[in-house]
Amino acid sequence: MEIRRLGQPGDLGWVVQAHGEIYAAEYGWGSAFEALVARVVADYAADHDPACEAAWIAEVDGERVGCVFCVRGPDEGTAKLRLLLLAPGGRGQGLGGRLVDTCLEFARSAGYKRMVLWTNDPLVAARHIYLTRGFKLTTSEPHTLFGEGLLSQTYELDLT
């Protein structure tokens, strides 16, 4: 098991493809979700500042199984955790927590004072990871971006 910086050929495409395939299979989310992921990845690839933004890939036996991104938030002191994902082959090994811990460590070292993230209520395993690291739910509201009956959730963590 390894967590490395995103940057090898195929990493960006894998993030989009894996999100699209896994979320379609597990939650029935379609092209609207995959398009959102593609926009986040494209924005990162086109214009990220390596001093304050980074992304990581988790691998098991040389195969990509997970990812997470740390990008600038709405203000200078806020980082956003984006695109946490673990493929079925990477689950149950603590990699999700390690990815989030890596992201948090980077955010602190980059000088961010808080981290925010946006997620959806069916993502129970991810929510568990966030809550065990001290994230607090700040807003929750119904939406239909990817399907019926979803609740979007915003979480925040003080990094100081």
- Express each pLDDT in 66-92 by its tens digit: 999 999 999 999 999 999 999 999 999
- What pLDDT is recorded for position 142? 86
C-alpha 58/C-alpha 15 separation (Å) is 11
Domains held by the chain: number: 1
Range of the domain at 97: 2-158
The domain that contains 112 carries what CATH number? 3.40.630.30
Task: Tell me the CA distances in angstroms from 109 to 55, 58, 134, one per residue in order.
Answer: 14, 20, 18
- What is the rounded average pLDDT for all residues in the chain? 95
C-alpha 151/C-alpha 110 separation (Å) is 31
pLDDT band at 144 (very low <50, low <70, confident <90, very high): confident
Q: Quick one: how far is CA 64 from the chain centroid?
A: 15
> What percent of the chain has a predicted confidence (pLDDT) above 70?
99
- What pLDDT is recorded for position 29? 92
Please name which of 130, 133, 132, 150 lies closest in space to residue 142, comparing C-alpha atoms.
150
